[in-house]
Structure 1
């Protein structure tokens, strides 16, 4: 039976362990490289991640300590290792998996995504020895006659020589039901545990390629592609009757409304300063004041406006003074001149993405 999860997604049987942690916001997203042996038209990677770069969630990784710090801030119980293809920088990826296992213990669950192109027996053995718990293969189903596809399919067989969870992860691309079905059959016959299906979405980098192939978004407000969800449900219904695999249809709504929100909430608890309010969405809400001379403004607020210094934080990097929202509202009414007051909302992430800014009169 296809069942609807509490996370706006759909499943057959049980969710893979990696997905269970992910939807609760408990997984660190460890991006080990943007390099990949393939060039899929639907690849959503941003331009900043298409090179040989490393990120832990939104944090650029300059040292091993960056990975550990990010995991601690979000109270991670596991990690999803992704790219690009993490096997394109195998030694680095292996080092990171071993680092996480040593720092947080064997129960810290790590899953990894790969095309399969580089999944030789020797490379898989290194991942297994490092402590990888779950591996997900994404072969190029949409170029089944290519040499690379044949290599990927043969390499996937290698994964069943190790005692870990093996599954697949593919996008739901309208018009490709037969290829998706054949891949599900292939995995089932090998003894895989699951097949994850992702609702197709557009991004800034893949939009032109998606539109050129005739696909369209479901609405002006959504990045999801028309027909993708319906096709995914059709595959789950077929798979429930014809295979023993577990399936998870991961929707665009799950990523935004559940996974990200839950991760932000976990981080906000550890990141929020005393003057910040944590919203229902996991963002940080507080007041700010901007002025050409921050030191002069700080003196004005403390000495003339008599604002307690512990209510103020001078953020030189962003060129502002931060404070509780109610203090900013009161000061905006009392102080005349060129001082500008705002209420802002930011993600509690490393990049502190600003999602709202309300000017105060």
Structure 2
């Protein structure tokens, strides 16, 4: 069936996905370290090291994780990497932290290659409170020794009372390997297999093009043939396995999951002079000038703008204000002052997505 989230499903979506599509899942990136080097891995260069992020926020202390979860009003977390098991103690610490702070109902799922999923390591994750584990073995390199280790380790997960599933990209030309993995999980008693539409990133585009893969269009990062491969697996899986399936599309990630997360965050971080748009971005006016203090004094004393409408953002070198105030000032103020209307994500990094000169 087609879901309301521009994705496709067989059976019920895993609990982690249900929360994710509503924007209720904190993305907890516990390390960029990984035992593998997949040709389709989209990680940016600055995340390939041993770093920790909560959504877009760099984590320097446990309080950063808690603060980000509160800002998002998160009801769960997806623990990812890299491979979170490559820094197991750290990952366990964060799972315990979230469970202790937000309660047992705060749902945590985790992605892993399986390479480090020994019985002892899985026991630590289970004892920490992990609710759902998703395995992504080196499915497209089945002759490697690491793949054989991963497949054996996946079997360990069924000794614990949590939801076990798989998560793989839909790679055109690799249907038989995907089919094999679905059968493998089904025989073990797994609950689901998530299939992601393959997308390129700045890190993978050159490699994917050299391998013969192409984007579906100039406007999309999705790879041609991936969606069709995923749909084919769902149709086969519905008839031949008892697994639930979710084909997560590129459109879901951008138009649904990210948008819903931004909207949850925006209402908690927006200042009084900011408008929250339908997309969850923050829209407001800015004025830029070499001397911000001089500009502030001019706007308050000469232009008679109420001080409560102005905010000096020294980090970004500008004075922020309601959009309509910036529009009026742009028509009235002469000289070197520049006025804009900007839209930003309500995220920690405040990514600017649009700037309109006035």
Band of TM-score, shorter chain: over 0.9
Q: Distance in 2 between matches of 1:94 and 1:271?
A: 29
CA distance, structure 2, for counterparts of residue 45 and residue 358 of structure 1: 31
- Report the 3-state secondary structure (helix = DSSP H, G, I; strand = E; otherwise coil) of the residue aligned with 1:301: helix
Distance 2:163 2:246 in 1: 15
State the match for 1:268 in structure 2. 266
Q: Structure 1 stretches of 5 or more lacking a match? A: none
Partners of 1:141 and 1:208 lie apart in 2 by 22
In structure 2, the residue matched to 1:14 is 12
For residues 103 and 13 of structure 1, the distance between their equivalents in structure 2, rounded to whole angstroms, comes to: 32
TM-score by length of 1: 0.99
Match of 2:55 in 1: 57
Equivalent runs, 1:249-260 vs 2, <5 Å:
249-260=247-258
Deviations 1:18-75 (A, max 9, x none): 0000000000000000000000000000011000000000000000000000000000
1:214-270: CA deviations, max 9, x gaps? 000001111000000000000000000000000000000000000000000000010
Q: Which residue of 1 aligns with 2:144?
A: 146
Equivalenced residues, count: 358
* Cα shift at 1:191: 0.2
Q: 2:212 corresponds to which residue?
A: 214
Shift of 1:212: 1.1
Runs of at least 4 residues of structure 1 off by over 6 A? none
Q: CA deviation at 1:208?
A: 1.1
Q: Which of the residues 176, 186, 189 maps onto 2:187?
A: 189
Q: Deviations over 1:84-128 (max 9, x none)?
A: 000000000000000000000000000000000000000000000
- CA–CA distance in structure 2, aligned partners of residues 31 and 212 of structure 1: 29
Match of 2:71 among 70, 73, 89: 73
Task: Name the counterpart of 2:294.
Answer: 296
Alignment partner, residue 94 of structure 1: 92
Per the alignment, residue 238 of structure 2 pairs with 240
2: CA distance between counterparts of 1:66 and 1:299? 35
Name the residue aligned to 2:41: 43
Matched, 1:225 2:223: yes
| Aligned residues: CA RMSD | 0.3
Please give the secondary structure, in 2, of the residue aligned with 1:248. strand
CA deviation after TM superposition for structure 1 residue 184, in Å: 0.2
- The answer on 1:348 being equivalent to 2:332 is no
* SS of structure 2 residue aligned to 1:129: helix
Q: Give SS of 1:4's match.
A: coil
Q: Which residue of 2 aligns with 1:160?
A: 158
In the TM superposition, what is the alpha-carbon distance from 1:209 to its structure 2 partner? 1.1
SS in 2 for 1:318: coil
Task: Give unmatched runs, 5+ long, in structure 2.
Answer: none
Could you say which residue in structure 1 is the equivalent of 2:322?
324
| Alpha-carbon distance between aligned partners in 2 of 1:89 and 1:346, rounded to the nearest angstrom | 33
Secondary structure, aligned partner of 1:274: coil
Q: Name the CA distance, whole Å, in 1 between partners of 2:306 and 2:312.
A: 13
Query: TM-score, normalised on structure 2?
Result: 1.00
Q: Which residue of 2 aligns with 1:124?
A: 122
User: Partner residue of 2:306?
Assistant: 308
Measure, in 1, the Cα distance between the counterparts of 2:305 and 2:162. Answer: 58
Distance across 2 between alignment mates of 1:209 and 1:170: 19
2:63, 2:176 → 1: CA distance? 45
